Amino acid sequence: MEFALSADQKLLQDSLRRALERACPLDRVRRVAADDLPQDREVWRTLCEVGVPALLVPEAFGGLGLSLLDAALAAEELGRHVAPSPFLGTAVLAPLALREAGSAAQQDKWLPRLAAGECIAGVAIAEAVAGARDGAGVAANANGTLDGSALFVLDAGAADVFIVTDRAGGLHLVRADAQGLTRGALRSIDATRPLGELHFAQVKAEPLPNANQATLARRGGQGRAA
């Protein structure tokens, strides 16, 4: 049994390393962190050029159709360079959630945009994966809206759309400009990976029809792997 990286995986690592060495010097990282920016657009543009947002999107939707190991290799290089850019929410958890739990229409609409880096996806699943904190938790209402709060939201600051879990294990798509949705920043140790909080007041949401608690458990484990 072969445990070494494949030639393609080594090429992915090398290409991403060289790109980040050019686009992500330490002085840029320090500047982004000092300015409390949600992301650095130049770094994000570089990641899009080398295909990072497309890693886990199936080829049928314009992605590369690669594996979690490939995403983990990308995460290693991003960590090596302390890259101030979306990744775990946008390039890993959101594509996986849409692949597994989204409808055909949702996949057709969002997966090509994610693969191309045309949108940022925030992911709010911390309460379902790690347990609810005081004052946090989102309720799904019968009228298709959400109420409540979500903490430790990944890729929240620059997000165009959110994947949100409710207390029953359902997943929902919520546009960042939805009426009744407010968001704020949360301080964390890593200033290059800004977290956020979301507050919902009768916010219109679009459920992912195939989501359940098993989906959330897998998403949480896969997020840790990447």
Give CA–CA dist 48/35, Å, rounded: 23
188: confidence class by pLDDT, cuts 50, 70, 90: confident
- Judgement on whether residues 171 and 212 belong to the same structural domain of the protein: yes
Residue 2 is assigned to a structural domain of this protein = no
pLDDT in tens, 98-129: 999 999 999 999 999 999 999 999 999 988 87
Phi, psi of 81 (to 5 degrees): -100, 5
Number of folded domains that form the chain = 2
Mean model confidence pLDDT for the chain: 89
Q: How do residues 61-97 score in pLDDT, each as one tens digit?
A: 999 999 999 999 999 999 999 999 999 999 999 999 9
pLDDT in tens, 91-106: 999 999 999 999 999 9
Same domain, 191 and 132: yes
| Same domain (yes/no): 184, 136 | yes
The token pair at 111 is 């997966």
Q: At 157, which CATH number?
A: 2.40.110.10
Strand partners, 153: 196
Range of the domain at 63: 7-116
pLDDT, mean of residues 123-152 = 89
Q: What is the C-alpha separation between 184 and 215, in angstroms, rounded?
A: 27
**Do 106 and 136 lie in a common domain?**
no
